């Protein structure tokens, strides 16, 4: 929930990274775990290690993976337009019991890296 002014006070974080931290949080729909900061361009392990004890991730709204239209899915940092399209098709042709990130990975819809990251995110259950 911090703004860029608060982030700017963290060690090793200047105005650029503070702005990117807020922007990326908006792109994600909220941080689900602190390591997501390392998805930001040039935000490496050393930078993360210097501030990991100073940050916490609070509750955020679960990401509505199972209800968003294709265009909105494609805006998520871990998805692209091809995977967004495939997710919509997957939802049409599979029962909600199969609607999991793991099923998307097994079906070849998500690459392993994207599936790993997305599986750690707060995702709304099917139907919500």
User: What is the rounded distance in angstroms from the CA atom of residue 56 to the CA atom of residue 33?
Assistant: 8
Hey, what are 118's tokens?
A: 């997305």
H helix runs in 42-80, sequence order: 45-51, 70-73
Res. 127 pLDDT band, cuts 50 70 90: confident
Res. 128 pLDDT band, cuts 50 70 90: low
77 burial type by CB count under 10 A (0-12 exposed, 13-18 middle, 19+ buried) = middle
Reported residue count of the chain is 128
The pTM score is 0.87
Q: Quick count: other Cβ atoms within 10 Å of Cβ 58?
A: 8
pLDDT of residue 38: 96
pLDDT in tens, 41-80: 999 999 999 999 999 998 888 999 999 999 999 999 999 9
SS3 123: strand
User: What is the rounded distance in angstroms from the CA atom of residue 51 to the CA atom of residue 48?
Assistant: 6
Main-chain phi, psi angles of 63, to 5 degrees: -70, 125
pLDDT in tens, 100-115: 999 999 999 999 999 9
| pLDDT cut 90: percent of the chain above it | 91
């Amino acid at each position: 929930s911090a703004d860029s002014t608060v982030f700017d006070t963290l060690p090793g974080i200047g105005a650029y990274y503070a702005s990117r931290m807020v922007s990326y949080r908006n792109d994600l729909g909220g941080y689900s775990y602190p390591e997501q900061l390392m998805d930001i361009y040039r935000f490496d392990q050393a930078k993360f290690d210097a501030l990991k004890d100073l940050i916490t991730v609070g509750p955020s709204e679960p990401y509505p993976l199972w209800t968003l239209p294709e265009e909105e899915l494609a805006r998520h940092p871990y998805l692209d337009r091809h995977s967004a399209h495939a997710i919509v098709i997957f939802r049409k042709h599979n029962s909600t019991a199969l609607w999991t990130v793991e099923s998307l990975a097994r079906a070849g819809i998500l690459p392993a890296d994207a599936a790993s990251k997305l599986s750690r995110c707060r995702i709304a259950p099917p139907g919500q």
